[in-house]
Structure 1
Amino acid sequence: MSPAPSDLAGLTVGIWGFGREGVSMARTAAAAGAARVEAVDDMGRRPFEEPGDIPRLEVFRGSEHLARLSACDVVFVSPGVPWRQPVFEELRRSGIRISSAADWFVSRHGAATVGVTGTKGKSTTASFLSHLLRQISVDAVVAGNIGTPLSDLSPGEGTVVVAEISSQQAALLTNSPAVAVITNLFEDHLDWHGDRDAYHLAKANVFRRGGRSLVTTPQVVATLERLGVPPVDLEVRLVDPARIEHTASTSVMAYEHNVVNGALAAVAAAEVLGRAVTPEEFESAVRTYPGLPHRLQTVRTTGRVQWIDDTLATTGESVTAALRAMDPDRHVAVIVGGMDRQLNYEQLDEYLCRGERRVSLIQSPTNGAAIGAEFARRHPSRTHLVDGLEAAVRVAAGLPDVDVVLLSPGAASYDLYVNYEAKAAAYCGFIDALG
């Protein structure tokens, strides 16, 4: 892959995908002096915003316009474009410079960046790390896959950028952030990468392109060694989940899965600070951390029922972690289902069948029937197959003695919703409509 261009002045810049990140990158390219900016939204959707302030920009909607990208000097590809998409493959073979908003940013500001990736936990780890650094009076900002596009940022001297980096963003990195964090490596995004090994190799770019240090777990290092990409040319800081002491705090960081996320964040913060985080600094950050929207967030309470939005849970492992975070004495109705990406849900199914939590399973479109299939076979009276999220909410509300309704899809939302935020908003709307 060619390096991201250092100067766009006078170039014809292509933008593939015109959502939030595409709009940001178009604005960045125009400000850098691009002669033309041609944005192609092959899905034909309206962008998140209608920019009227980007000079020399023309937007083309529909896949028939993708051929225009081959005439550009450089093409910035949005994360949603699959690696094996034929036009994308052709562009890579053509020698046209290919980049992304994340690559553009890290190529320029990598020395001041902590890149956080992994199959699950990266949003919480990145968010908590930024919070922890600010608690210690470090000027820190969190961005990237977590919300604000990296190309929107112009960090000043002394600012530390904590960048959540998805596998799609990592795949196009030509430079790595100074400090990299890999929370874990499971199975995800097979529709994008093709297979698990390709997905994991894409994640490895977060440290393989010139990173200074890697913060991760022994399990991740074992996976990297199996793939032939051991982290040998940088400092490796290991966090062993089996050795972490659990806190008695009632913070969201006391959840089983977040204990590891917090430990990774503390070690990453030490890499930034050049010293260890003190116990007092860490505990203060834990006490004051509010948690993430859409990650085990209580959004409504109706009578005795607590309604939880966990739409950021897009894998089976994430759903398992969410269920483990629930009080074992409570009856949990978990709503699963979303975009079918051919993930393996055996681990979640095994957890459900062990009966560690009292669970009613509500399977919603598009792939809900594939999530907890064995549990459904063994416990048909505790399984409900519905035709939509509204029906799922109604069924959950009607269950006897239910204490918690947990929307934890185990899948992405793009099959029926613009994004997970739209799905969460619909969830709240359906709860409110119960009357």
Structure 2
Amino acid sequence: MMDLKGKRTAVVGLGRSGVAAARLLATKGAHVVAVDVKDRESLSEALAVLEPLKVEVLPGGHHPEVLRSTDLVVLSPGVDASLPLWEELKGSGIEVIGELELASRWVQEPIVAVTGTNGKTTTTALIGHLLRSSGKEVFVGGNIGSPLAEYVMEGKAELVVLEVSSFQLETIRSFHPGVAVLLNVSPDHLDRHGTFEGYLRAKARIFANQTSEDWAVLNLDDPQVRRLCEGGLPPRILSLSKAPLDRREGVFSVGEEAIIRLGEREERLSLRHLPLLGTHNLENVLAAVGVGILLGLDPRQVEEDLRRFKPLPHRLELVGRVAGVTFFDDSKATNPLATLRAVEALGEGIVLIAGGQNKGLDLSPLRQLAQRLKGVVAIGEAAEEVLRTFDSTVPSVRAEGMEEAVQRAFEMASAGDVVLLSPACASFDMFRDYRQRGEAFKRAVEGLRADGR
């Protein structure tokens, strides 16, 4: 724990994590200034929360002259941690950390942390579901839902389960999960990290403070995760795979069963009737099962509780059917691998809606989907890139908005086909976030129904 009474502190960025960090600092007795590049009007919600706590809010920039007079600077996840200013501050003796690191210094409960390019939200929610179903008091948050700082101020639980992003992991120093899960690593956020190796290093920081008393749960079907494992990690390893891997400890799938090996113990549980589509979700399930077993859950209870899990919105979510055409919302797919997995889960006869704000990623891997696709509707800033990707291999058109995209996709589909929103890009060119994009898709589908289609 930190003694912050009377300390001069600053928070950079006033999204939800930044506001929570500022509140936490204020409740611990620190003098807090909060800065953001947005104007005062755009920060009205943050101001309403922070001004009563006597937090000084400075809009319109990072205000380096103010930050240089502090003892501690806390960066929000959306703030680029590689800016030269942060190195300058560190060089002058000012500690620069993130909200996750700050809040974790007050957490006494065991921490489970989950990261990966794809699947981390579903896996985190699934772990929370299994633990809660067993009767445990659990906080689930971090990069989803509530920031950890909110839990420190308001929560009380037996276990803390966190989704953690590469942005959050960049700014940790002592963050120490007893169980750390790495699902997969493929190119993403290269507009922020610069190179894939930089992104991989950020993800691997989840293990930075683990010891031989801790556990790393690793999906060895992913080549980058396997490479990290083979390079040596301090914690004990629990392996995950969709095929048996020699006699090592782990959770493996064989047919419709999961085999759990831990020490001399071997258990089997059924994977039939899971409420999640796709082989990628099988990886998520194996990870959640592995964590559950490490934390002492009964395999038979886990088997039952898996079937009761409700899939999260905007992740291969069935929206409905119109005139025999089935619509799926996979708005959370913000990189090409996520879109590849979604299409593979649904089969063929698919009209794909893709595009948005590219994160510096190569979209050409999407071309391998051509035989499965009946058509492509391109949207957003990356629309031309999407059209070039498919070129003459798949009938492709451009749409200016989501309503037009759904209409064009519906026209390209026939009864028995699927219209899939799986953009392979971020949403910020057209929407506030992927949730708003997914809701716009759902409204457009409802509009088809209202038209009597």
TM-score calculated relative to the size of structure 1: 0.88
Counterpart residue identity of residue 35, structure 2: V
Q: Do the aligned residues in 1 keep the contact of 2:338 with 2:424 (CA within 8 Å)? A: yes
* 1:13 corresponds to 2:28: no
Letter in 1 for 2:170: A
1:173-188 pair list within 5 angstroms: 173-174=172-173, 175-188=175-188
Match of 1:288 among 308, 331, 349: 308
Q: Secondary structure at the match of 1:52?
A: helix
> Bigger CA drift: 401-410 or 154-163?
154-163
Displacement of 1:23: 1.3
Cα offset for 1:170? 1.0
RMSD of the TM alignment (CA)?
2.5
Partner of residue 381, structure 2: 366
- Which residue of the partner structure matches residue 317 of structure 1? 337
401, 406, 417: which one aligns with 1:393? 406
| Equivalent pairs, count | 417
Matched, 1:375 2:398: no
- Report the Cα offset of residue 30 of structure 1: 1.1
The answer to whether the 8 A contact 2:332-2:434 is kept is: yes
Write the letter of the residue equivalent to 1:123. T
Secondary structure in structure 1 of the residue aligned to 2:243: helix
Give the share of equivalent positions with the same residue, in percent.
31
Aligned residue in 1 for 2:268: none
Give 1:415 shift.
2.6
Partner SS for 1:14: strand
The offset of 1:176, in angstroms, is 2.3
- How much does 1:11 deviate? 1.7
What's the counterpart of residue 252 of structure 1? 275
Aligned to 1:147: 145
Distance 1:95 1:345, change over 3 A: farther
Question: Residues 349, 156 of structure 1: CA spacing in aligned structure 2 closer, same or farther, 3 A cutoff?
Answer: same
Paired position in structure 1 for 2:266: none
CA distance in 2, matches of 1:48, 1:297: 33
More moved, 239-248 vs 93-102? 239-248
Question: CA deviation digits over 1:333-360, x for unaligned, max 9?
Answer: 211112221112333322x13x2x2432
Q: 1:139 to 1:311 in 2, by over 3 A?
A: same
Instruction: Note the C-alpha offset of 1:422.
Output: 2.0
Change (3 A) 1:58 1:305: farther
Q: How does 1:20-59 map to 2 (within 5 A)?
A: 20-35=16-31, 37-44=32-39, 46-47=42-43, 49-54=45-50, 55-59=53-57
Instruction: Measure the CA separation in 1 of the matches of 2:86 and 2:441.
Output: 35
Task: Indicate yes or no: 2:114 matched with 1:116.
Answer: yes
Q: What is the rounded CA distance, in whole Å, between the counterparts of 2:240 and 2:357 in structure 1?
A: 33
The answer as to whether partners of 2:366 and 2:389 remain within 8 angstroms in 1 is no
Say whether residues 1:206 and 2:221 are aligned partners.
no
The 3 A distance-change label for structure 1 pair 412 and 7 is farther
1:298 aligns with 2:318: yes
Quick one: which amino acid aligns to residue 365 of structure 1? G
Q: Which amino acid aligns with 1:136?
A: S
Give the aligned residue type for 2:377: I
Determine if contact 1:111/1:177 at 8 Å carries over to the other structure. Answer: no
Q: Does 1:160 align with 2:169?
A: no
Q: In the alignment, which residue of structure 1 is the partner of 2:422? A: 408
User: Residue 84 of structure 1 aligns with which residue?
Assistant: 82
Distance in 1 (CA, whole Å) between partners of 2:285 and 2:339 is: 19
CA shift, 1:157, in A, is: 6.8
Name structure 2 gaps, 5 residues minimum: 245-252, 257-270
Q: Which residue of 1 aligns with 2:350?
A: 332
Q: Is the 8 A contact 2:182 2:225 kept in 1?
A: no
Matched residue SS, 1:130:
helix
* TM-score, normalised with respect to structure 2: 0.85
